[in-house]
């Protein structure tokens, strides 16, 4: 893999990850860009002691542009986009409308392909492997920035969950705090260790590997629908080796993940008519806290709001008001359907 | 207020709350109903130690029926609905497709009016007062059922958040556990008391009453946009007297709430073109735990996914994946807009 870094016209960083060592990328951004948007504000909710990001400048961000105005496509002729080069394999750059910036963190966009009309599911294992390397590279680099406590790589896919740009891409957030979900799960892992002496994730993985909810597995990874799935489609992907984060994965594990994840996304898109809207979230250990790193295990959690071909799950009063999730589909049923959705 | 109880054809309880003491309601349900749906299943998520409800029987529930098939309208002629009577003011009954039932709790529907085409905002303070009495009555009754730990009264309003029945109504859940949000807030209240000796809610209310985010207030209540609002529209309504739950409110407080809440909902509907989709959630103290009751304070939290006339906020990777909320509207701006949305 060849890595090339440059700066965009307003000073933002851009990093190309190319599969061919011979790739040459345009490093100069010919646009005349306005100054970068002002930073957002972190506020701590006294009722929950959790951080909320107030990002008032984002209200005017680009919203579902037509494909000939896509800012994530390569630059061609007079049409200058966020990516100065005329082609790329995988590219990361700082978000022009970031939720977090400056001392408060950093938001990057990770484009999975220069092809506007493809999807991660269609790109295949070779490209997914390049993307894993990009995730790992950015996770390691962002972890070194002052004040960063956690790096979060994720993909929002589909207009049903509010995606504002169709071009296949994910996002990477470098956060100045440990997220509420991570804190909750770490508390469970700590309590589990105190109560049983065991590792929570090891014990969950061992139980699920023997159970009825495995979807796919190979030498290094298992994908399963968790016993208490909150979403009508929900799959967790655990590495068999206990590692805290993406940079810790070795070559064999990265290749095996690429194979399994490509197959999993294909199955997801065969569940209903048309592409499955989903959120795919990498859970990595906090970057600084040694006890938290010792308690954590890397895993991916993918879930969807789609509960039938024409029906979505909405987060309403029970979920958004109280944090109580009601799942209308038994997790065993979802696992069975995903197993049956073979190519 | 006149209260009348009866049973529906399949054994479910129905309770009329009528404003006229002379109201007479049809007590016999003439329908031939199938047996009630099987119960759902509670599963504990090992990663969060939170309960998830698996309610596979609900997948086929009534979904946006045309108004001449609305199950919440009164029964007329040959058309028999969930409400046997030909008219009603406010009526509560057990949900035919409950998320929780039997030993696992109870779900009730609370119809705000027999008029299919009105809304709580339009009904005015007199009716809201009757609804407060119904909430308080049901909260007290459900709290006495074995195994119930918390009673949750809420309203989901608008197809934008997945409401499946247009008829103006709310829901009441009697839960066999303390909800995740309540547990989180109680932990904050406990920590606040240990750190400062003060009461969290009293201190938040006092600070907000002096600040720039008050929307409406009267002798007994203050409505404000919280400092760390998660949603583009979010208003919390606190009673000035520290009470744990709805049954503890006195007459003057109930009347004053009815006035303030009617005015607040009117302002919400004037914010954008058309009715505001919202979730309105009563936070009551857990019913059994004395320490939790002592730490708790009744309050209402109303919030909306609408962030502009034609834009919704979606919960995507940061919110649903990690619990990190990004609010594109400054809370002070929302408070200002709500103050300006006077009749």
Subunit contact B324:A51, Cβ cutoff 8 A: yes
* Shortest CA gap A26–chain B (Å): 31
Residue B258: both structure tokens together: 């009815």
Assess contact for B262 and B216: CB atoms under 8 A.
Answer: no
Cα(B308)–Cα(B334) distance, rounded to whole angstroms? 11
Q: From the CB of residue A175, how many other CB atoms can be counted at a distance below 10 Å?
A: 28
Average pLDDT for residues A134-153, to the nearest whole number?
98
- Residues A45-54: pLDDT tens digits? 999 999 999 9
**CB-count burial class (<10 Å; 0-12, 13-18, 19+) for A183:** middle
Q: Which two tokens stand for residue B152?
A: 């949750």
CA dihedral (B171, B177, B181, B182) positive or negative: positive
- pLDDT band per the 50, 70, 90 thresholds, residue B9: very high
pLDDT for residue A202: 98
Is it the case that residue B285 has pLDDT exceeding 70?
Answer: yes
Asked if A303 and A230 count as a contact pair (C-beta separation under 8 A), the reply is: yes
Residue A301 at interface with chain B, using a CB cutoff of 8 Å: yes
Q: Is B195 exposed, middle or buried (0-12, 13-18, 19+ CB in 10 A)?
A: exposed
CA dihedral A25, A28, A33, A39 (to 10 degrees): 70
Q: What is the pLDDT of residue B37?
A: 76
Task: Write out the two tokens for B32.
Answer: 């031939």
Count of residues making up chain A: 343
Helix axes A180-196, A200-209, angle to 10 degrees: 80
Q: B54 to chain A nearest CA, in Å?
A: 5
The verdict on a CB contact (< 8 Å) between B281 and A328 is no
- 10 Å CB burial of residue A124 (0-12, 13-18, 19+) is middle
pLDDT category at A103 given cuts 50, 70, 90 is confident
| Ranges for all domains in chain A classified under CATH 3.30.428.10 | 2-31+39-175, 180-340
Please name which of A240, A33, A59 lies closest in space to residue B311, comparing C-alpha atoms: A59
| Partners of B311 in beta bridges | B308
B325 chain-A contacts, CB cut-off 8 A: 52-53
In the structure encoding, which two tokens stand for residue B306, read together? 């609408």
3-class SS at A60?
Answer: helix
The class of domain A2-31+39-175 in CATH terms is: alpha beta
Confidence of residue B298 (pLDDT cuts 50, 70, 90): very high
Q: Do A43 and B227 touch (CB under 8 A)?
A: yes
A220: left (phi over 0), alpha (psi -120 to 50) or beta: alpha
Share of chain A above pLDDT 70, in %: 98
Length, in residues, of chain B: 343
Give me the pLDDT at residue A68, please: 80
The predicted structure's pLDDT at residue B60: 62
What CATH class does B180-340 carry? alpha beta
Q: Name residues whose C-beta falls within 8 Å of residue B210's C-beta, 6 or more positions apart in sequence.
A: none
The answer for residues whose C-beta is within 8 angstroms of residue B146's C-beta and 6 or more apart is: none
Q: Which region, left, alpha or beta, applies to residue A135 given φ > 0 means left and ψ of -120 to 50 means alpha? A: alpha
Using an 8 Å CB-CB cutoff, list chain A residues near B228. 43-46, 51-52, 54
Query: Which residues of A are the active-site residues?
Result: 169
A271: three-class secondary structure by DSSP: helix
- Comparing A134-138, B102-106, B264-268, the range with the smallest average pLDDT is B102-106
Chain B interface disruption, residue of A320, A329, A337, most B CBs within 10 A: A320
CB contact under 8 A, B323 and A281: no
Rg (CA), chain B: 20
Q: Is B97 on the interface with A (CB under 8 A)?
A: no
B183, A323 contact by CB (below 8 A): no
pLDDT at B236 over 80: yes
pLDDT tens-digit series, residues B112-135: 999 999 999 999 999 999 999 999
Contacts of A229 in chain B (CB under 8 A): 52
Distances in Å between the alpha carbon of B222 and those of A44, B282, B301?
Answer: 21, 15, 12
Shortest alpha-carbon distance between residue A327 and chain B (Å): 5
φ, ψ (nearest 5 deg) of residue B265: -65, -35
Phi and psi (nearest 5°) for B166? -75, -25
Pair type for strands B214-217 and B233-239: unpaired
Grade residue A59 by pLDDT with cuts at 50, 70 and 90.
low
What's the pLDDT at B83?
Answer: 97
3-state secondary structure of A11: coil
CATH 3.30.428.10 residue ranges in chain B? 2-32+39-175, 180-340
Least confident of A60-64, A196-200, B52-56, B220-224: A60-64
Considering CB atoms only, which of A63, A314, A328 is closest to B59? A328
Q: Which residues lie across from A17 on neighbouring strands?
A: A3, A90
From A116, A124, A100, A242, select the one nearest A172 (Cα to Cα): A100
Mean of all residue pLDDT scores within chain B: 95
pLDDT tens digit sequence for B249-264:
999 999 999 999 999 9
What fold characterizes domain B2-32+39-175? HIT family, subunit A (3.30.428)
The pLDDT value recorded for residue B65 is 76
Share of chain B above pLDDT 90, in %: 86
- Average pLDDT rounded to a whole number, residues A273-297: 96
| Whether B58 and A162 lie within 8 Å, measured CB to CB | no
Candidate from B155, B203, B317 with C-beta closest to A281: B317
3-state SS string for chain B: CEEEEEECCCCCEEEEEECCCCCCCCCCCCCCCCCCCCCCEEEEECCCCEEEEECHHHHHCCCCCCHHHCCCCECECCECCCECCCCCCEEEEECCCCCCCHHHCEEEEEECCCCCCCCHHHHCHHHHHHHHHHHHHHHHHHHCCCCCCEEEEEEEECHHHCCCCCCCEEEEEEECCCCHHHHHHHHHHHHHHHHHCCCHHHHHHHHHHCCCCEEEECCCEEEECCCCCCCCEEEEEEECCCCCCHHHCCHHHHHHHHHHHHHHHHHHHCCCCCCCCEEEEEECCCCCCHHHHHHCCCEEEEEECEEECCEECCCCHHHHHHCCEEECCCHHHHHHHHHHCCC
Pairing mode, strands B50-54 and B306-308: unpaired
> Hey, is the C-beta of B252 within 8 angstroms of any chain A C-beta?
no
User: What 3-state DSSP class applies to A130?
Assistant: helix
What residues are paired with B157 via a beta bridge?
B278
Q: What is the mean pLDDT of residues A313-327?
A: 95
């Amino acid at each position: 893999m060849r890595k090339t870094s440059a700066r965009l016209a307003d000073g933002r960083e851009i990093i190309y990850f190319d599969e061919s060592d011979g790739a040459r990328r345009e490093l100069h951004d010919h646009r005349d860009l306005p100054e970068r948007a002002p930073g957002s504000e972190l506020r701590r909710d006294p009722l929950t002691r959790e951080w909320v990001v107030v990002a008032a400048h984002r209200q005017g961000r680009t919203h579902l542009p037509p494909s000939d105005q896509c800012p994530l496509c390569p630059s061609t002729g007079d049409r200058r986009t966020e990516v100065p080069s005329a082609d790329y394999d995988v590219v990361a750059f700082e978000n022009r409308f970031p939720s977090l910036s400056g001392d408060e963190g950093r938001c990057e966009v990770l484009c999975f392909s220069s092809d506007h009309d493809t999807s991660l599911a269609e790109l295949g294992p070779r490209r997914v492997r390049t993307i894993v390397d990009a995730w790992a590279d950015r996770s390691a680099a962002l972890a070194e920035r002052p004040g960063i406590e956690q790096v979060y790589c994720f993909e929002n896919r589909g207009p049903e969950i509010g995606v504002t740009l169709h071009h296949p891409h994910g996002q990477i957030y470098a956060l100045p705090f440990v997220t509420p979900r991570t804190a909750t799960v770490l508390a469970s892992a700590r309590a589990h260790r105190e109560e049983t002496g065991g590792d929570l994730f090891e014990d969950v993985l061992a139980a699920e590997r023997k159970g009825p909810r495995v979807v796919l597995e190979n030498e290094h990874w298992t994908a399963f629908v968790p016993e208490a799935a909150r979403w009508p489609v929900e799959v967790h992907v655990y590495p068999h080796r206990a590692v805290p984060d993406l940079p810790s994965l070795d070559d064999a594990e990265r290749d095996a993940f690429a194979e399994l994840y490509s197959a999993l996304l294909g199955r997801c898109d065969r569940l209903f008519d048309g592409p499955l809207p989903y959120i795919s979230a990498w859970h990595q250990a906090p970057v600084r806290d040694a006890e938290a790193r010792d308690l954590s295990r890397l895993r991916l959690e993918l879930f969807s709001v789609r509960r039938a071909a024409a029906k979505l799950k909405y987060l309403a009063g029970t979920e958004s008001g109280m944090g109580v999730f009601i799942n209308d589909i038994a997790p065993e049923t979802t696992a069975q359907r995903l197993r049956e959705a073979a190519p």
